[in-house]
Amino acid sequence: MHPSYCLLAALFLASSQLAHAQQAEGVSVGNPSMLRNLVPAKQLEQQAALQYQNLKQQASTQHALATDSNAQIKRLRAISARIIPYTTKFNPRASEWQWEINLLKSSQLNAFCMPGGKIAFYSGLLETLKLSDDEVAIVMGHEIAHALREHARARIAKSELTNLGVSLLGQTVGNGRYNGMFQAGGSLLTLKFSRGDETDADIVGLELAARAGFDPRAGISLWRKMTSSGAPPQWLSTHPSGKNRELEIQKHLPEVMPLYDKSKR
């Protein structure tokens, strides 16, 4: 074989091995639920964008939408700007999303990321718990992970399968009547995830935060703050208990700490 071909082959092999090693780094969570494929992603994301816009308009009318000059929204957007570049590992379509983050002035301890990358934090979460940047990144990574892993698509599909049956659901989606069906079903803001979804989002969120240069060990201090704050926040109502969450984080720290260390070099 010509020496140049040998060199090219060696370079290709080295490149492939590096790509495989980079893909193998971090957590292992398996493939998202196949049920999500019963719900059209783009239609759900369009519906999410509409609901998000309506929420912003309502908040603005009530003077509860933080302006671009607000120090906390600047902080949130700076943190999200570091996390978002790492999202495509878990969902290649994330590169096409129109990411947006806003802060709502409310005493609620709440945060969410809707399908398509529409993120919101409530000021009560930041102020009541006095979250550090690392802790904010853990929350943000968790919520972004729900969108990346398309838990909303899967939950809606499961719900509709229960209510309609496989045959009728297929006809509804196939004939383009999905939007109306979902609008009748309720808001994405009130969608409840399973405990499995929450654990999945915790694990993926740890990696996102670590890759972005935020200390994943902040997950432990975050959930201790959550559980010691009295009644658990509304968005934790179906989550695993704080103690179980701490144990899960500790279990996965060996997988994500090398990513955090690498980000600091």
Annotated catalytic residue 143: yes
| Strands, sheet with 100-104, edge to edge from the N-terminal-most edge strand | 100-104, 118-122, 111-114
Which one from 143, 198, 207, 246 is the annotated catalytic residue?
143
Matching residue, tokens 């930041």: 126
Q: Contact 85/105 with Cβ under 8 angstroms?
A: no
Count how many residues are written for the chain.
Answer: 265
What is the chain's Cα-based Rg? 20
Cα 91 to chain centroid distance, Å, stands at 10
Q: Contact 218/233 with Cβ under 8 angstroms?
A: no
Active site (catalytic) residues: 143
